[in-house]
Structures are given as C-alpha cells and as structure tokens.
Amino acid sequence: MSLKVLVVDDDENIREIVRIMLKDFKVLEASNALEGIRLFIEEKPDIVLMDISMPGIDGVETTREILRIDPKAVILGLSAFSRSRGKELLDAGAKGVIEKPFTRKSLREAIESYLAKARS
C-alpha cells in the first residue's frame, strides 16, 4: 500500500515539487485551507504537509481544525518562515516543521520519521 500524503499549500510550484519528490506516494493537493480540510475528511491521508502562510485561513488554524476532526492526524509544517512561525504551528499540534527549500531526501526522511513515531 502506498502512503497517502496531503499537501496543503497555496503555491502551485511547491505542490508540484512535492508531487515530483514523492512520486511513489499518492499525493493529494489542496491550494487552500478549506480544500485541505475537505480532502482530509474524504481521503484520510497518512500525513499532511501544511504550509504555514496562506491567504485567508492560515496553516496554523487549518492544523487546529484537522486535529479537531482527527486528534491522531500527523501534520508537518512546510515553511520558509519556520523560525518566526514554526512555533505557532507546533503549538497548534503539528509534529514538526520542514524548512523551505527542502531536498527530496530531507522531505522523505521527515515523513518516514514522523510516521514511525506516530505509529509507535
């Protein structure tokens, strides 16, 4: 069974990069918070990669909402602003933050590491 990864990011280029880096996973894409929440409910992904800074509802509030729906959800932040906003996302319940730009190797290692912790 292939891992199911939901990417919630308003930047189409980031979603495309993640899709390419994780081509052997099933990658679901949402360009905003509401779409991300809907896909989370419908698809029940193994992990969510959440942009912190998005127009409208940001990644912090989206993280809180997803965790209200499923307290066991594994959410990792994706952000170029991890130093300034990463703590907010962690306080909202995210398991970690991956700083942009990231490499394929660092992204995959983070996903595997956080999923292993969540399953143990």
User: Each residue of 5-37: pLDDT tens digit?
Assistant: 999 999 999 999 999 999 999 999 999 999 999
* Residue 54 backbone dihedrals phi, psi, to 5 degrees: -135, 150
pLDDT at residue number 82: 56
pLDDT interval class at 120 (50, 70, 90): confident
Six token digits for residue 109: 């290692």
pLDDT at residue number 85: 81
pLDDT at residue number 119: 84
pLDDT interval class at 44 (50, 70, 90): very high
pTM listed for this prediction: 0.95
Instruction: Taking residues 110-120, report their average pLDDT.
Output: 91
Flag whether pLDDT at 81 surpasses 70: no
Of 53, 71, 61, 39, whose CA–CA distance to 10 is shortest? 53
Angle, CA 43 vertex, CA 40 and CA 48 arms, to 5°: 45
